[in-house]
Chain A
Amino acid sequence: MTPLLAASAGDILVWIVWAAAAAACLVSAVAVVSFSDAFYSALALIGNLASLAVLYLLLSAEFVAAAQVLVYAGAIVVMFLFVIAYVGGHADTPWKGGPSVQTIAAIAAAAAILIEVLVVIGVQAGGGELSDEADISGAFGSPAQIGELFLTDHLLAFEITSVVLLVAAVGGVILGSHARRFDEGEAG
């Protein structure tokens, strides 16, 4: 097999992986929005996050893909599932009662965003702006490079992120634990 044929075979393989991941991503996104039970929506979000991690890997973002699976599918979705189990399923019926004015306006606004963005992408791609990728080394997106950037160029962002997470954790504890005291204050 000549190198040219080998390269095109790899190209086709990446296209197939991309198409499968993109299709899974869109189908699971629609499932998240359209399941009437929030529990199934949260489960569909896991599939969405996993297929997005595959897309990140195709874009040579290895560390971000790993962090996506760990942080989102491992931590955030589990937190969602705990809260859904605690609050109760409360299945709402999103598509009952026919289209209202609000529904039609929402769909029109979303379609406007989609068409607008797709037109811009099409124009830019037609002009060749989106096809000449930069050459990257094999270490692009590796944990070593990300960590070095976080501790040199982006040190301030790194530290501020840690403060934001700390404040959010404290806020979550306060919101979750003191609600009953407000009730008693109102009752008394």
Chain B
Amino acid sequence: MLGPDIAWYLAVAAFLFTVGALGVLLRRNPLVVLLSLELMLNAANLTLIAFARQHGSLNGQIFALAVMAVAASEVVVGLGLIVAMARRRVILDVDQMTTLRG
């Protein structure tokens, strides 16, 4: 295979996942939390496709396409929740949504 080994792609995926996790943990705007979740899902996709190339099996790419469909569903439901919150005049800040806290 030309170019870098699979390990380099996995390292990029690890950095991407870490940045996404930092966004989920640190940001308070739920829209940006959803965007950071997309980063984490894409890091997992990159890993799946890298290992699909490593093993010469297309099952990893099929899995990545299924992950993309699940990510689309998750974004639809998450954005629907955010729109519903905005309509009920709830402040869009994940630190202030503490009604369900025990």
Contact = CB atoms under 8 A, between A and B. Distances in A.
Contacts of A109: 21, 25
Q: Is the interface of A mostly helix, strand, loop or mixed?
A: helix
A26 to B, nearest CB: 6
A131 B5 contact: yes
Interface string A160-188: 01001101110111111001101100000
A87 B92 contact: yes
Interface residues of B, number: 73
A79 B79 contact: yes
Contact of A58 (B3, B36, B81): B3
A105 to B, nearest CB: 8
Interface residues of A, number: 92
Contacts of A136: 53, 56
Interface string A138-175: 00110001100110011001000100110111011111
Q: Is the interface of B mostly helix, strand, loop or mixed?
A: helix
Given A56-B49, A124-B7, A168 B18 contact: no
A6 to B, nearest CB: 11
Contacts of B4: 14-15, 18
A15 to B, nearest CB: 5
A175 B73 CA distance: 13
B64 A107 contact: no
A142 to B, nearest CB: 10
Nearest to A16: B3
Nearest to A171: B77
B39 A92 contact: no
Contact of B87 (A64, A84, A121, A183): A183
B83 A76 contact: no
5 contacts: A32-B23, A38-B31, A76-B71, A117-B10, A145-B58
